[in-house]
Structure 1
Amino acid sequence: MDQLLKQAELFDGFDDEAIGRVSEIGRPRSLRAGEYLFLLGEDAANFYLVVRGRVDLCFPMPVGGDVKDVSVESVGNGQALGWSALVKPYRFTLSARATEPTEVVSFARRGLMELCEAEPRLGRVFFMRLSELIGIRLETFQALWARELQRLVERPAELQGGPTASKART
């Protein structure tokens, strides 16, 4: 598992001793295609690293009387997910579903937090990298939100038969 952790961007630059300490608390888990790793709103007790495969982070949306998963981001080899396990209120804000057979490493919140407290330098680097991950997720949501706002702004003009913002620009 040490070699897998060394290849993950979240643990990039960690020395062998730090990688070994992190590896000790990781537990492998396999997912079938279509299987959920976690669901929106569940208690977030574990943080995950994708070893092999792909996981879609989804937001369940009501569509025509059904609930469909809208994929917000796709996470693959060496990428982390489930950071809600490390940030209060410790509830998942999205669902995670494997899109193909997938192997992940699961890290219990308690073990990871104890390690970060026992090794402050490791904890500082880990949480700096985690904050970068959170920032990327926020940028993704901002782009999705902006696109939806644009659609809402253009929609009334379409309904009234007027020009849309895109037609007005040409």
Structure 2
Amino acid sequence: MSAEVETPLVEDSEWTPLFEVEDEAEELASMLGRQPVFDNLTNRELRRIERIVHRRRFSTGEAVIQAWVPRSGLFVVESGTVNVVRQLPSGENVTVGSLGEGELLGEFAILDDSPRSTSIVAAEPSNMIGFFRPDLMDLIETDPTLGFKVLHRVSQIMAGRLNEVIESLRKVRTALA
């Protein structure tokens, strides 16, 4: 009967980061699949998307999107909270809303580069995932089916938000009548 030889776990600082990157990639693909903008994609498609998105951490008070500055991409709040801030004619900044984990912002910028009327500011340290128009255009060129799926999903989200605004305006009109 031979003794079973246990292979020792290599604890080498040179190799550890490689395994961490693999775990991070698995985590990113899984997290992307839970986001409304990417929730209709297959695992293979999510792997493709994870190679072109950009992750960034924003400090409290740091602008993710600045009003009146053209932007070319959308963001998903990976963690943290961001405030939607509008500047009044008096110069006073007013928070008109907050967005948290999993919420999408800046989706109009994926379609056009006109300036936005509100700023998005980190209310606390926040991790954001950015997906930008040049990356979408490259994706449409290299993988039209996947590019269309992403663009279609963004359009569905925007249509849903537009319907919510229309319904809110209808309620206000009814209340004022």
What runs of 5+ residues in structure 2 fail to find an aligned partner? 1-27
- Partner amino acid for 2:91? D
1:52 matched to 2:79? The reply is: yes
Specify the alignment match of 1:68 in structure 2. 93
Match of 2:143 among 86, 100, 119: 119
Q: Residues 68 and 116 of structure 2 are in contact (CA less than 8 Å); yes or no, is this contact kept in structure 1? A: yes
* Cα displacement (A) at 1:128: 2.0
- Tell me the secondary structure at the aligned position of residue 10 of structure 1: coil
Can you list the C-alpha shifts for 1:1-29, whole angstroms capped at 9, x where unaligned? 21211111211121112111111111211
Q: Residues 30 and 101 of structure 1 are in contact (CA less than 8 Å); yes or no, is this contact kept in structure 2? A: yes
- Tell me the secondary structure at the aligned position of residue 135 of structure 1: helix
- Tell me the secondary structure at the aligned position of residue 61 of structure 2: coil
Which stretch of the first structure deviates more once superposed, 29-38 or 140-149?
140-149
Kindly report which structure 2 residues correspond to 1:91-130, keeping only aligned pairs within 5 A, or say none.
Answer: 91-130=115-154
Specify the alignment match of 1:5 in structure 2. 32
Specify the alignment match of 1:80 in structure 2. 104
Q: Residues 84 and 93 of structure 1 are in contact (CA less than 8 Å); yes or no, is this contact kept in structure 2? A: no
* Cα displacement (A) at 1:124: 2.2
Can you list the C-alpha shifts for 1:115-162, whole angstroms capped at 9, x where unaligned? 1332222222212221122123324544665677689x6xxxxxxxxx
1:84–1:4 CA distance, 2 compared to 1 (3 A): same
1:69–1:133 CA distance, 2 compared to 1 (3 A): farther
Specify the alignment match of 2:60 in structure 1. 33
Specify the alignment match of 1:43 in structure 2. 70
Q: Residues 55 and 99 of structure 1 are in contact (CA less than 8 Å); yes or no, is this contact kept in structure 2? A: yes
Q: What is the alpha-carbon root mean square deviation over aligned residues?
A: 2.5
Runs of 4+ in structure 1 over 6 Å off = 147-151
Which has a greater percent of strand? 1
1:29–1:60 CA distance, 2 compared to 1 (3 A): same
Which stretch of the first structure deviates more once superposed, 76-85 or 138-147?
138-147
Which has a greater percent of helix? 1
**Alignment partners' CA distance in 2, 1:74 and 1:103:** 15
Please tell me whether Structure 1 or Structure 2 has the larger radius of gyration of its CA atoms.
Answer: 2
**Alignment partners' CA distance in 2, 1:35 and 1:20:** 29
Count matched residues: 150
1:138 matched to 2:142? The reply is: no
- Tell me the secondary structure at the aligned position of residue 92 of structure 1: coil
1:78–1:149 CA distance, 2 compared to 1 (3 A): same
